[in-house]
Every structure is written in structure tokens, then in C-alpha cells.
Amino acid sequence: MTGLRKVLKLRTVVSSSAGLAMATSCYLAGLYVAVVTVGELAWVSLLIAGVLCLLSAMCFSELTSLYPTAAGIKLYIQNAFNEKTAVAVAMFYVIGGASIVGVESYLLSSVLLDTVGILIHPLVDRFFWQLIFILLVGYINYRGVVLTGRVQDFLTYLMLGFLICVGLYTFTVKGVDLAAAVASPKFTLENIFTATALGIFLFIGFEWVAPLAEETEDYRMVGKGMMIAIGLLSITYSVFVVAMYTGLTPEQIKSGTTIPHILFARNLFGSTGAAVFIFMSILASFTSFNSGVLNNSRFIYAMARANILPRGLSKLHPDHASPWLAIVMIVCFAVILSLFTLLTGRYMFIVVVAAALECFIYVVVALCVLRLRKKLPDKERAYKVPLGKVIPVFTIVVFTLLMIGMFADSTKDSHGNILFQNYWCALAMVIFAGLTAFYAWRVMPKLKAAAEEKAKTRKRRRPQRRPAS
């Protein structure tokens, strides 16, 4: 097997893009958005966040049309700036993005713990469910992209349809008083801005479909799929988050629960509804992590293929054409992150870091669009962001302000008590950025030099053909 298989259709590009974003953690993040604003008007911040992500998706689409490879984001930055900067940013992005697995597995284990009860000990039970979840997803990805894609399609579209239907049903039962919500003193521009910044978290990962460009039937599907996915997510979140808020009691909202969707289901549908939501919560986590492993493993494979990571990570399975060593690496990393989140309980810290990281990468990508237009004005692009420099510049300004706003804010619980100051999130990001920069400037050159020396040795040992007599 010499390479990845070009078998993915548009429906799987859309399901992979939407699926990574649509996770169990989004129920909790959605409730936080609703609490910051007025719950019935949470859709305002969610739609704004969706539009802003759409602008970033346009930038990703233009760059993907230039570099339709599994190592896309690294090549964008490398050609716009330089290779070492590209490696540092790309690895920082991968590590930060993968950290969301800790949140996802923690919240899923909360759902299962609430359902099954304590079998041995809360910590042991939680870690058991986390481990089963991670290993199962890893095995499906190991079996190859065709099976993974089919699973992704089924789960994502089932989730989207289910959440919209439940939301619309809730409105017919509960109703929504928009006039009272607009008159609320909480409905201010400052709160809308804060909620929009947090709302970005609900779309995290839509762009990670880009590494699948080498496995699509037509790489132009990637840009189109991202934009369709953001539209579907915007509608789904706007409907369901408002419905969930209206379906919870004030006491439940203030309780600081990690399973608001389960409480909402019990209120609305009783124990049967709660059981259905538990099942859908498992599917949501499965969909998100499945998409994450699918996309991240391709990126790691491409980085190893270029000798930026150890070469062994570029190995493909002879039967399934899956980057199996990269998948094993992600699974091990996910287990460590899940255990860390379990022991510390700081899942909201990771949520804020992940949202800030997304804002950062959207700024970098928009900068790459402007730089590459200047450096490569005549290079063919299957898609180009309209309105000249307007959208990339607007994207840079808005996401920079959102990131600064997040760092200047504090994360509070449902009672208004401060959990932590967000500047600690900025410090954590600086530390991780320093580590990836060290790798790019110190470790990577040694890996590349070793690979070149190995290639020269193989060439010298290759027997010379004797000329025919």
C-alpha cells in the first residue's frame, strides 16, 4: 500500500467537519452561553459565532485549494512564513486541539456514572468508561477510512436531526418569551460579545476536515463541506441550546451540573427521554472523537512522512490503509489527557484554552491568505475568498479581539463565583507554544538530518548495475 485512498464523498466531509464539533461538551458550553446572555436569546451569540467561523472557513477553503494535502495547515504557514514557524504552530495546534478529548471523555463519564451508578469507586468507574470509549474509537479508525466514514455519516446526521426535532418540540410545549428576554438587563453588547467568544467553542474542530483532502474524491469538497457543516451546526445549536435552557428549572441551571442535557430530558420526557439522551450523548462523544482521530491521525501521518515527526508514524496498515501507528499515538495521548482531566476536574480550563486556541489559529490562517496572495499571486486557486482583503482582515481583527477578551475575563460558575482568571489560560498556552517552538528549532532539524543521512547510506549501499556487455 503506497498511499491513502481517495474514497470520501461530500457527505462524509460534512459529517466529519460537523461531527468533531458536535460533542457532549457542547451541551455544557451551550448552557454557559445561555447563562451569560439571556437564555432565550442565546441564539444571537451562537449565530454570530457561526458567521465568524464561516468567514474563517472561507480562508481555510482558499488555502486548501492551494495545498490539498494531509499536512495542509503546516504547508499554509510554511509557504507564508517559514518551516520552523509552521511546525511550531501546527504542533501547538494539534496538541491544543487534542486536549479537548479530556473534556469530552470526562463529561461522557459523568453521564454514564449518573446512569449506571457507582460500581467500585467514582474515579475508577469514570476512568473505566473513558478507556472503553477511547479504545473503541481507536479500533474503528484502525480498520480504515471507509468504515470510519460510514460510521461518521450515520452518527452525525442522526445527531443533527435528533437535536433539531427535540428543540422544535420543546418550543411547542414550553414556548419562548422573546419580549421579556430582550428587556432583560443581561441582554447587553458586552454579554453578547462574551457569549460569542465562548460560542466559538461549539464549532471547534470544523476545520480539521482539511487533512482529509488526500482521501476525498475531489479536494474541492473540503471547502464546501466546511461551510455546509457550519451552517448545519449554527441552526442546530441555535434551536437546541435555547430549548435546553427553557426546559431546565432555575435551580438546575444554578446547580453547576455537568449533564444539563440529561436533566432537560428528564424534565421534558421523563425517564424514557433521559435514557434516549444518554444514548445520544454517547453517540455525540463517539462522533466527535471518531472525527478527531480520523483527521488528527492523517495530519500526524503527513508530518512523519516529511520527517518532522519520527518516520515510523507514517506507516500505513497493509490491508486497511490506515496510519495505524499515528492512531495508536493519539489513543495513548487521549488516555493520558482523560486521566489528567479526571484527577484535576478542570474541564472548563481546557474549554477556555481550546476556544482561545481556535481564535489564534483563525488569525494565523487569515494572515496566511494575505501573505500567499502577495507571494503567489498567479498560482491557481480552485476557491478564492470574495471581496479582496476585506474578509481576511476582518477575520484577523475580530478573532484577535475575541481572544484578548477571553484572556481578560474570568470563568465563573452558575452562581457567579469565579472559578479561575482566564489569564492562566494564556499562560498555559505560552508554555505549550514554547515547548513546540523548542521542538521546531532544536529537535526537528536533528530528525531531518538523521533522515537525510539514512537516505544517503541506503543510496551508497545500493548495488550498481553493470553495463550490458
Q: Considering the chain, what is the average pLDDT of its residues?
A: 82
Q: Which cell numbers in the block locate residue 142?
A: 484502525
Q: Are 38 and 46 a contacting pair, CB within 8 Å?
A: no
In the prediction, which pLDDT does 394 show? 95
Pairing outcome for strands 410-412 and 418-421: antiparallel
The share of the chain scoring above pLDDT 70, in percent, equals 90
Average pLDDT of the residues in 381-408: 90
| Domain positions in the chain | 10-447
Binning pLDDT at 50, 70 and 90, where does residue 469 land? Answer: very low
Helix (H, G, I), strand (E, B) or coil at 122: helix
pLDDT of 433 > 50? The answer is yes
Range of 55-69, 89-103, 387-401 with top mean pLDDT: 387-401
pLDDT digits (tens, 9 = 90+) for 120-152: 666 777 777 778 878 887 887 777 666 667 777
Residues 6+ apart with CB under 8 A from 313: 300, 301, 303, 304, 323, 325, 326, 329
pLDDT of 95 > 80? The answer is no
pLDDT digits (tens, 9 = 90+) for 152-184: 788 889 889 999 999 999 999 887 777 777 777
Helical H segments across 306-416, by residue range: 324-344, 347-375, 390-408
pLDDT of 386 > 50? The answer is yes
CATH 1.20.970.10 applies to domain 10-447 = no
Distance CA 468, CA 384 (A): 55
pTM: 0.79
Residues 6+ apart with CB under 8 A from 60: 207, 210, 223, 226, 365
- Residue whose C-alpha cell reads 480539521 in the numeric block: 208
DSSP 8-state secondary structure symbol assigned to residue 314 = G
pLDDT digits (tens, 9 = 90+) for 292-309: 677 677 778 878 887 888
Residues 6+ apart with CB under 8 A from 421: 410
Distance CA 300, CA 323 (A): 9
